[in-house]
Structure 1
């Protein structure tokens, strides 16, 4: 069995959000807003931009992979041996936006990271919704 056929898993969180994609995009891409719902950062929505997310427990090394304003944002997420990719997809709906977050690349031996991400993203997205509710 070669390296590439290792089964990896994804954490997916989906939400119907009562705000337009443009507003959610700002919260996903503006450093001061990202800090409010995720972590301190030096993010820029620019292809190949390397940035760091920092929290009390340590930091995450990231690099922007895809930027399609108000539609798709994707970046690598590397921490403690985890090499994963986070992809945000925004789809306009009649009442707002269907927001989908997928973090892919968890290996079978990364059960703890996988469970941590499952819980963590639920919390981060709840925070994100609060930020959206109070920003213009």
Structure 2
């Protein structure tokens, strides 16, 4: 599947967080911290590491695609489902940009088919909530 405007849609959410990139990076890449703001997981930072994010509804299969410490992190975000309308093969990228007030964190999730309006809408609202939770976790770090 290609990521052109006609084939897939992208969710992009940005948030200014008043903390340095290294603190946000810790929350993005540490298992117990990921669980606090996102989901239960068996995350590992190595390229090619496969892991799952788990919720009451099931799980998402992920694989680390790109790591640039304290700058960017990309992994697959694939949800297997018997109904093709709910199956999702996507990629999530977190980009951290230092700014005067802390860090601009950008999340992009690419790969939503035009018929996946519910998943697309859920990701748009879900990532905003997850970012609020992430900021609370980061605020509690030393």
TM-score of the superposed pair, with normalisation by structure 2 = 0.91
Q: Does 1:101 align with 2:139?
A: no
User: 1:80-91 residue pairs with structure 2 within 5 A?
Assistant: 80=81, 81-91=87-97
Q: What residue is the counterpart of 2:34 in the other structure?
A: 34
Q: CA deviation at 1:7?
A: 2.1
CA deviations 1:59-92 (Å, max 9, x no partner) are: 0000000001000100000013100000000011
Aligned residue pairs: how many?
134
Long gaps (5+) in structure 1: none
Q: CA RMSD in A?
A: 1.1
Indicate the residue corresponding to 1:7 in structure 2: 7
Alpha-carbon distance between aligned partners in 2 of 1:27 and 1:109, rounded to the nearest angstrom: 33
Equivalent-residue separation in structure 2 for 1:121 and 1:16 (angstroms): 14
CA distance in 1, matches of 2:56, 2:141: 25
Report what 1:126 is aligned to.
Answer: 132
> How do 1:38-77 residues align onto structure 2 when only pairs under 5 Å count?
38-77=38-77
Question: Structure 1 residue 135 and structure 2 residue 141: aligned?
Answer: yes
Q: Structure 1 length as normaliser, TM-score?
A: 0.95
Corresponding residue SS for 2:45: coil
